[in-house]
Amino acid sequence: MNMVSNIPIFITARGHNTNEYNKNKEALKFSYIYISELNLFNQTYIISDNKDLLDFAIKLGFKKTIHYACKSERDIEYLEYLATYTYGKENNYYPDWIILLNINQIFKTTKLLVDCINNIDGKFDIITSYTTISDRSHFFVDNVLNNRSNELHKLSSVHKREKMGDAAIYAIRSEFAFECMKYDDPAEHFWQGKIKYFENTGVYTDIYTINDMYKFKYVTPVLDKMKELNKKCEHF
């Protein structure tokens, strides 16, 4: 992993309401397991508008956090861009690129990060992954699907091999992130940037509740690690 030693990795854990706080507190455990597998704690930053979530992240074993006291809904929505600026200001260093790992995609492979880094190209503003949707029913334990997943299941049944951006990971050119914040709608400008896609060969998930996390069969390999982590959390 020497190739990523100089690129900061951001994981955003919003905590502006009860659902987001509870969901992201649980999702941080999956992120901890992922970063443990990569051994990249020294360059991984947990970003949040909620200090309690940041305290929890440190207790889990993360080493670095960035707190941004959001003053508006816009601040909450565009926390990643603001954190890029905050990182540079606090470290007196603005990296060429940052890596953003989506906390809602809890089944990322180590290959995903490697592929993202290998695809970084100065001709682009954003490097991100896409997935190919097919019949998703086998992703779930006992075929239990929540409402949102039902919609995706129906969609994928119609479009058997549909490619779509999955937002699992982004490499973002820092200068472009700053540029986006100059606009009233940073997201609109973001998606007008030059984007390079690469295939995510892992599992596509998009988690919105704690229950979502445990409906997927793919969670099974990490359950033992999660049990150990939960024991650790009992002492927090």
Q: Which range has the worst mean pLDDT, 28-32, 33-37, 123-127, 226-230?
A: 226-230
d(CA 204, CA 141): 15
Report CA-CA distances (Å) from 118 to 3, 165, 198: 9, 18, 10
Q: Which range has the worst mean pLDDT, 35-49, 161-175, 204-218?
A: 204-218
Percentage of residues in the chain with pLDDT exceeding 70? 80
**Whole-prediction pTM:** 0.81
- Under the banding of pLDDT at 50, 70 and 90, the label for residue 156 is very low
Q: What is the pLDDT of residues 61-104, one digit of tens each?
A: 999 998 887 777 766 677 777 777 677 777 777 789 999 999 98
d(CA 145, CA 137): 8
- Least Cα distance to 106 among 43, 165, 23 occurs for 23
Mean model confidence pLDDT for the chain:
80
Looking at residue 234, the DSSP 8-state letter turns out to be T
- Least Cα distance to 228 among 15, 36, 20 occurs for 36
H-only helix segments in the chain: 18-38, 51-60, 73-77, 79-91, 110-118, 147-158, 174-180, 186-190, 210-213, 223-233
Q: What domains, with CATH codes, occur in the chain?
A: 2-129+164-209 (3.90.550.10)
Can you say how many angstroms the Cα of residue 5 is from the centroid of all Cα atoms in its chain? 19
The answer to whether 132 and 163 have CB atoms below 8 angstroms apart is yes
